[in-house]
């Protein structure tokens, strides 16, 4: 059965009733010679990059502008967590709580994790 909307109100009702998108993924992606992983856990997509430089390159030169990515993820009910060397440094999308620091830096409505950033900057042991 296909639902049709006869009014704008009907269309908004259809959109609000749509189920959120769920992602189940385990990928290794290579972009400009830099390999990183993308793992999906239902409504959370974790992108683990090898360095801050790679994360910034992806944010600046990604296939979608950063603020558009935030809006698209939120509309789909998804959250992306950006990790550097396994430490979460940022979250954007549906479950992100925008941080004042990100706004001041001009990064838009994303959540920054300063403790994760510090962990990612620490030299690895062993």
Domain spans of the chain, in order of start: 20-121
Per-residue pLDDT at 71 = 84
Per-position pLDDT tens, the chain of length 126: 455 667 776 766 666 665 567 888 999 999 889 999 999 988 899 999 999 999 888 888 877 777 788 888 888 888 999 999 999 999 999 899 989 988 888 777 899 999 999 999 888 776
The pLDDT assigned to 12 comes to 64
Q: What is the pLDDT of residue 67?
A: 72
Torsion of CA 48, 49, 51, 57, to 10 degrees: -130
Contact 3, 15 (CB under 8 A): no
Record the pTM.
0.78
- Residue 41 sits at the vertex; the CA angle it makes with 2 and 13, to the nearest 5 degrees, is 30
- Looking at the DSSP bridge assignments, the partners of residue 25 are 40
Q: Are 103 and 96 in contact (CB under 8 A)?
A: no
* pLDDT score at 1: 42
């Amino acid at each position: 059965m296909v639902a049709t909307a006869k009014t704008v109100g009907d269309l908004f009702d259809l959109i609000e009733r749509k189920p959120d998108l769920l992602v189940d993924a385990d990928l290794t992606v290579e972009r400009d010679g830099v390999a990183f992983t993308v793992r999906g856990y239902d409504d959370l997509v974790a992108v683990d990059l090898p360095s801050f430089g790679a994360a910034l390159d992806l944010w600046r030169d990604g296939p979608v502008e950063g603020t558009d990515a935030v809006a698209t993820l939120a509309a789909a009910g998804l959250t992306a967590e950006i990790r550097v060397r396994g430490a979460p440094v940022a979250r954007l999308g549906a479950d992100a709580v925008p941080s004042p620091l990100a706004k001041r830096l001009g990064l838009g409505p994303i959540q920054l994790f300063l403790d994760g950033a510090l962990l990612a900057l620490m030299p690895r042991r062993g």
